Structure 1
Amino acid sequence: MAMSVGSEGGEDAPMSDINTTPLVDVMLVLLIIFLITIPVVVKKVPLKVPTLAYQPTITKAENVILSVRGESDGSCGVYWGQARVNASQLLSKAAAKFKNEADRLGPNVTDPNLFPEVHIRGDQNTPYRCIGGTISIMQSAGFIRVGFISEPKGGTATR
C-alpha cells in the first residue's frame, strides 16, 4: 500500500485520490453482520405438511362422478357420466340427486359420511376456474364431500 505525501513540484495542492480501504472494511463487516443476523430474524411458522399417500377409491353407487376439462374454445367442459352439462343443468341435476339421497337416508341422518360424495376427474391442463366453478356448484346443491380422482404412479397405492 503506497502513500503520497505531496506532489512533484513541491506545491501544497490537495489530493484528489480517495482511500477506499476503510470503505471496503466497513462493507465487509456489514456483510458479515447481515449474514449472521438474517437467519435469526426470519421466523418460520411450524407446519406439518401432509405426506402424499394414494388410497384406492371406494366407489358407491350414489356417488357423483364428474369429468372436467378445458375445451379448445376456452369454455369449461363438465361431464356427468358421459353427458356434457352446462352450469344450470349441473346445479339442477346435483340438487335433485342430493334431495333423492337425503330422502332415502331419512330426516334424522346427520353423519356426513353417509351422504353421497362428488368425485371430480380433472384434466391436467384444465384451468382452475373450471374446477373451482364445478366445486362451487356442487356445494351449492348440498354436497359436502368433494374429492379428486388422480392416477397414481406405478407401485405407490396403499392398501
Structure 2
Amino acid sequence: MAFGNSSQEDSMMSEINVTPLVDVMLVLLVVFIITAPLLAPQALKINLPKTESVAHDDKLQKVSLAIDAHGVVSLESEHLTDQGLAEMLKNRAVDPHFQLQIQADEAVNYGRVAQVMAIAQKAGVSKLSFLTVTGK
C-alpha cells in the first residue's frame, strides 16, 4: 500500500528558491549605498554666476580649477598654493589640447581671479575658459 504516487516522488522540484538570492542582493545594495559617497570626488561648494549657454570643443583635455569664496585654489579637487599651481600648470600646458576651466565662486574677489589667470598665463596656458551656471 503506497500512500504517495511514485511519479510525483521521482519528478524534480521545478521551483527556484529565491530567498538566498534576495539576501545576497540586499547585502550588495547596502555595500553600494555605503561605498558610493566615498568614491565620488569631494567637490567644493561654489556659487557660480549665471550666463547663457555656449558651445564647446570636445577634443580638448579639460582640467578644472576651482576658486572658492575664500580664494582657496584647487586643481581637480587638490588644494594648491600659488607656487604649486604654477608648477602643475607648467607641466600640463605643454599639451596642445590642454584647456584650463576656471570655476570661481560668485563671492570671490576679482583680484584673486586675476592673480590665478596671471599664474596660468605665466605657466604657458593658452586655452582658458570660465564655467558658469546656465540659466536666465
Unmatched segments (≥5 aa) in structure 2: 1-50
Q: Is the 8 A contact 1:65 1:121 kept in 2?
A: yes
Q: Is the 8 A contact 1:66 1:118 kept in 2?
A: yes
The alpha carbon displacement at 1:63 in A equals 2.1
SS across alignment from 1:129: helix
SS across alignment from 2:132: coil
Question: Which residue is equivalent to 1:68?
Answer: 67
Question: Which residue is equivalent to 1:3?
Answer: none
Question: Which residue is equivalent to 1:78?
Answer: 73
Counterpart CA distance in 1 for 2:85 and 2:120 is 8
Q: Is the 8 A contact 1:69 1:130 kept in 2?
A: no
Question: Which residue is equivalent to 2:82?
Answer: 87
1:123 and 2:108 matched: no
Of stretches 57-66 and 123-132 in structure 1, the one that deviates more from structure 2 is 57-66
Q: Pairwise mapping of residues 1-80 of structure 1 onto structure 2 (< 5 A)?
A: 53-58=52-57, 62-71=61-70, 76-80=71-75
Q: Is the 8 A contact 2:90 2:124 kept in 1?
A: yes
Percent identical pairs in the alignment equals 15
TM-score, structure 2 normalization: 0.56
RMSD: 2.0
Write out per-residue CA displacement over residues 106-133 of structure 1, whole angstroms, 9 at most, x where no aligned residue. xxxxxxxx53211101101010111111
Question: Which residue is equivalent to 1:25?
Answer: none
Question: Which residue is equivalent to 1:42?
Answer: none
- CA separation of 1:59/1:126 partners in 2, compared to 1, >3 Å: closer, same or farther? farther
- CA separation of 1:90/1:64 partners in 2, compared to 1, >3 Å: closer, same or farther? same
Q: Is the 8 A contact 1:63 1:118 kept in 2?
A: yes
How many pairs are equivalent? 86
Write out per-residue CA displacement over residues 5-52 of structure 1, whole angstroms, 9 at most, x where no aligned residue. xxxxxxxxxxxxxxxxxxxxxxxxxxxxxxxxxxxxxxxxxxxxxxx7
The alpha carbon displacement at 1:65 in A equals 1.0
Q: Is the 8 A contact 1:65 1:80 kept in 2?
A: yes
SS across alignment from 2:68: strand
